[in-house]
Structure 1
Amino acid sequence: MKTKLMAAFSFLALTLAGSPARAEEAKTIAEIVAGSKDHTILLALVKEAGLAETLSGKGEWTVFAPTDAAFKKIDKETLEKVKGDKELLKKILLTHAVKGTWVAGEVVKLDGKEVETLSGTKFKIAVKDKNVMVGDAKVTATDLKASNGVVHVIDTVLMPK
């Protein structure tokens, strides 16, 4: 339980726009997401969750990062409800990460299997017509490698079950 809790805190800290990029090192997951013009809503929600002071630590994570367009698929009423419930918001954010670094070549090998996210929710990985799906989300960009893991971009927000 302690390891899972530390993993959750570490992931949340890493998704924040944290320290400035270091020229000699690979960017962190946070720096990759913060540097993306397509992930502004994700960053805003992470901040809204009150996670700015969350423990920052080393780890290896795979983050399935929904784009702004993915968040715009959610009706405004639901999005406002999520914003108003910090625990639910945190759970949704944790639903987009798994422990370990899973590059695209490894994710494809999981076809037909489930992965468990840091929220405890499980999603089936499916490869259909050269597309990789995580639950209902299509992976649209892969292997954005970070010093602490990897980011895969998805077109749909994953909701905890």
Structure 2
Amino acid sequence: MNTNQNSTPSANQTAASTLSVLDTAAANGSFGIFGRAVEKAGLKETLAGPGPFTVFAPTDAAFDSLPAGKLDELFKPENKEQLSAIINYHVVNGRRSAADVGKWDAARTVNGQPAPIKRDGETVSIDGARITVADLASANGVVHGIDKVNLPAAKKN
């Protein structure tokens, strides 16, 4: 796991420190679909706000692993609420490093549902999604890339 726990920020961290979590993810180049999903969910302004946020952003490859047609279905305007719930299940309030997250049993997501955390040696996962890119610093939080799109449990009426 790349945790970048040095006390001196790397060049990438310094450059990213003026960007929002969304702009930081976009600058990484692996999170284009996540950015589009945030826009379609109507959460772009929120995640560009002051935060701080910890975002577990599924990579483009993670989105590509969804069942055929699932993403297109989620991107339909009538599914905006469901997409928003999914995006919010990938966001935690506060600025948390991968090392911090690895100490938890669960993450309290903005969605309201807890996401289980597991640590196996240096590998940290959230609801079964491994953190593959850790600690991308931004002005309003931190981004961790994950290898799976996590779907929250359906809400009971």
TM range (shorter): 0.7 to 0.9
For 1:92, the aligned partner's letter is: I
1:52 shift after superposition: 5.0
Give distance in 2, aligned partners of 1:55 and 1:74: 24
TM-score by length of 2: 0.79
Give distance in 2, aligned partners of 1:55 and 1:133: 22
Q: Which runs of 5+ in 1 are unaligned?
A: 1-22
Give distance in 1, aligned partners of 2:143 and 2:16: 20
Of structures 1 and 2, the one scoring higher in RCO (CA 8 A, sep 6+) is: 2
The answer to whether the Cα contact below 8 Å between 2:101 and 2:107 also exists between their aligned partners in 1 is no
For 1:91, the aligned partner's letter is: A
Which residue is 1:134 aligned to? 126
Which residue is 2:103 aligned to? 109
CA separation of 1:128 and 1:45: change in aligned 2, threshold 3 A: same
Q: Which runs of 5+ in 2 are unaligned?
A: 1-14
For 1:148, the aligned partner's letter is: N
Identity of aligned residues (%): 36
1:147 shift after superposition: 1.3
Which residue is 1:95 aligned to? 89
Across the aligned residues of Structure 1 and Structure 2, the Cα RMSD in angstroms comes to 2.2
Out of 33, 55, 62, the residue aligned to residue 63 of structure 1 is 55
Give distance in 1, aligned partners of 2:44 and 2:114: 26
CA separation of 1:55 and 1:80: change in aligned 2, threshold 3 A: closer
Count of matched residue positions in the alignment of Structure 1 and Structure 2: 138
